[in-house]
Amino acid sequence: MTSILLALFGSIVGVGAVALLHLKWRGDVRSRAFVAGGWAAVAVSIGLWAIAFEPDVGAAFAVLAMTVVALGLVGRGVDLPALGRFPSVRRIPNPEPGGKPSWTGVAARTLAVVAAAPAVSMSLGLLVWVVTPAHESTRFVLAVFSFLLAFAALLVWGLSAVRPWRALGLITLLGAAAAVPVAAAL
């Protein structure tokens, strides 16, 4: 019964956290304290779920629950022409002449997606595998989870960068930094 109450309270805190972050994202709130409070509430929610159920299962369910709430909040009010009304959404002008993408930018984005993002995310997954002090199966689950999370984040970063070559270089440097401790441990 206690675990159900902790999970329920964790869900309530998680919904509040996502709502705070959503308000700041939309530009309805100007205070940066909402961002700090939102992320602190995310951590509290994950902690409560981890206490309610085992840490590996509870943390996964907490993140999943908050993701569903976030998708619901973002998806319920999607009105693409209205995005220009929000001051937090800034439209970046296309730096390319004539509004057409350059071949070098396409090449950098392709390298980021096809080569750099998978290699760097695998390197980050192996880094989690190497440095996590846990049982082998827990390390495996955390490594796969961090690999998927890093892969998604790097894909978004590589595809949405205004300066794709800079993003490709930074992604490559991140992979090199993650590969050094992995190589040292092997």
Q: Which residue has the tokens 């022409």?
A: 81
- Residue 164 exposure: Cα atoms within 13 Å on the Cβ side: 23
Domain membership flag for residue 93: no
Angle between the N-to-C axes of helices 164-185 and 136-160, in degrees from 0 to 180, rounded to the nearest 10 = 160
**Banded model confidence at residue 57, pLDDT cuts 50, 70, 90:** confident
The label of the residue with tokens 């190589």 reads 183
Is 71 in the same domain as 105? Answer: no
CB 98 within 8 A of CB 153: no
Cβ atoms of 74 and 22 within 8 Å: the answer is yes
Q: Give the tens place of pLDDT for each residue, 15-42.
A: 888 888 888 877 787 888 888 888 899 8
* Domain range for 181: 99-185
Position 94 in a domain: no
110 and 73 in a common domain: no
pLDDT at residue 97 is higher than 60? no
Q: How confident is the model at residue 1 (pLDDT cuts 50, 70, 90)?
A: low
Overall number of domains in the chain: 2
